[in-house]
Amino acid sequence: MKKKILTFSQSINEAMIQAMAYDKSVFTYGIAVDKTGHVFKSTEGILKKFKSKRIFDTPNSEQAETAFALGASLSGKLRPVLIHHRVDFMPYSFDQLINWISLWSFKSARKSFAPLVIRTIVGRGWGQGPQHAKTLHSMFSYLPGLKVVMPSSASEAKGMLLSSIMSDDPVIFIEYRSLYNTKELVPQKKYFIDIDKPRQRLKGNSLTLVAAGASVLTSLKAAEILYKQRGLKCDLFDLRSISNMKLEAIFSSLKKTKRLVVVEDGWENLGYSSEIITKVAEQGLNLKKPPIRVCWPNSHVPMSTPLEKKFYFDENDILNACLKVLNLRE
């Protein structure tokens, strides 16, 4: 399969165009999706190619936009892709998500489906402050009936978005603005990824490292430093989905390494990191050291650039956690 170098946002754009060409029921909409900037260039060229019936601008009303997605998906003839520019304001649409979208298939005994995707963006970094830098992924993953996915790279983003659009279940597709300019070789043809199955990014024997979304890239940097400085390799898993986590491969890894570090771009309380550690405990795995989580402080995100740098963890914080679980640092 031929590949080319694409940025994360270009791979999202390519997935959108290929999905819309493949299936005429797919359309996309949201605030300024057809305007200058095109959602960080992820919707660029779609209006010219597919015209205004399949991509259009909407008023600023999260409730109305989300309810429209549900209604369109229930027609049995449409697959909407709604773009919420900021995940911070998706709670405005919680009634639609909690009382309708997440439980529609359940109420119909899987005889009726709501095949919709909500693309939403985390504005982590660059001075966004407390109102534009939250993730909220744990809120969505708490709900049965919603799939919540967090792509970590350009090639993952394309395959995962195509799979999400073709899914009969509603999907919350969380994108990190900090990843939009990262580049990777991406297959040119359309392809699909099992969004429920974690991907093993690295193999090793020293410890098991687990992450999702943007924290995968930071974890890769930490693992590289660990190998260069100490000659130690780790198993690194990219969760992909945090709502229906299939952890068998991670359990198998832990039987070998007996040491666990979970990295999460989000608050420590009730996140996927605590869920994974709970499930590891339920397995009765005999770890050599207590698991360690690398998360955000239990505080809102500061707007000041120096404070923001202290708030977010980086590869050195992950490295220190790895060294601690390996008994190489206090």
Which among 22, 80, 71, 13 is positioned nearest to 47, based on CA atoms?
Answer: 13
- 48 domain-assigned: yes
Residue 304: predicted pLDDT: 85
| pLDDT tier for residue 121 given thresholds of 50, 70 and 90 | very high
- Where is the domain boundary, 162, 187, 212? 187
Here the contacts of 250-255 (C-beta below 8 Å, separation 24 or greater) are 250/198, 250/208, 250/210, 250/276, 250/280, 251/280, 251/283, 251/285, 253/208, 254/208, 254/280, 254/285, 254/287, 255/285
Structural domain range at position 96: 3-187
- Where is the domain boundary, 164, 187, 210? 187
Tell me: the pLDDT tens digits for 229-274? Answer: 999 999 999 999 999 899 999 999 999 999 999 999 999 889 999 9
Whether 177 and 211 map to the same domain: the answer is: no
Whether 261 and 287 map to the same domain: the answer is: yes
| pLDDT tier for residue 134 given thresholds of 50, 70 and 90 | confident
Residue 34: predicted pLDDT: 83
Residue 137 appears among annotated catalytic residues: no
Domain count across the chain: 2
Q: Which residue is it, tokens 């899987």?
A: 110
Residue 125: predicted pLDDT: 63
Tell me: the pLDDT tens digits for 187-231? Answer: 999 999 999 999 999 999 999 999 999 999 999 999 999 999 999
Tell me: the pLDDT tens digits for 79-99? Answer: 999 999 899 999 999 999 999
| pLDDT tier for residue 309 given thresholds of 50, 70 and 90 | confident
Whether 124 shows a pLDDT value over 80: the answer reads: no
Read off the CATH number of the domain in which 321 is found: 3.40.50.920
Whether 9 and 154 map to the same domain: the answer is: yes
Residue 127: predicted pLDDT: 62
- 330 domain-assigned: no
Q: Which of 38, 132, 137, 300 is catalytic?
A: 132
